[in-house]
Structure 1
């Protein structure tokens, strides 16, 4: 299934919608300067296992890269997703790396 993901900054979240516009899931964040903390991912039960969570994670990380932000992955789903996507490692704040 394909999802369209958009940033809704007034709600501090990314939203994934299916082709008919139904909200499938959200990834919430908190932004402080150039640091973005991704706090929670929630996918509607009707869309679980369809790729909405992954679409949200990829869109959020691509947005952080495009805006030169440092990512703090508080959300367990996103943390696990990042373990499988090392191409985003240079954006992630870890205990062994300084935040600029």
Structure 2
């Protein structure tokens, strides 16, 4: 699945151009805040939200920044999966 990127978000649109999944983030000083994750109900349960998180994680690793998981989904994922421990900004 190929996500599009704009400043502050990764997303995917359906064939009609409707946004069907996205993650938003913002730079705050030396870290990235993952602020919101959305997946259209028809697509839920397919791992798309985690793939969106992985895009922000890839970005943060390439820039040497930690991620503040403001979004509850991202925070829950970071707390359950140790593969994100290197980027998890715990508060």
TM-score (norm 1): 0.76
Name stretches of at least 5 consecutive residues in structure 1 with no aligned partner. 96-100
How many residues in Structure 1 have an aligned counterpart in Structure 2? 90
After superposition, give the CA deviation of every residue in 1:36-85 in whole Å (9 maximum; x if it has no partner).
10011011111111121011011111111111112100001111111232
Alignment of 1:58 with 2:54, yes or no, is yes
Name stretches of at least 5 consecutive residues in structure 2 with no aligned partner. none
Provide the aligned C-alpha RMSD in A: 1.9
Q: Which residue of 2 aligns with 1:88?
A: 84
Q: Distance in 1 between matches of 2:76 and 2:51?
A: 14
How far did residue 31 of structure 1 move? 0.9
After superposition, give the CA deviation of every residue in 1:10-54 in whole Å (9 maximum; x if it has no partner).
xx1111357x68643111111124311001101111111112101
Q: Which residue of 1 aligns with 2:33?
A: 37
**Structure 1 pair 46/88, CA: closer, same or farther in 2 (3 Å)?**
same
Consecutive aligned runs of 4 or more in structure 1 exceeding 6 Å deviation: none
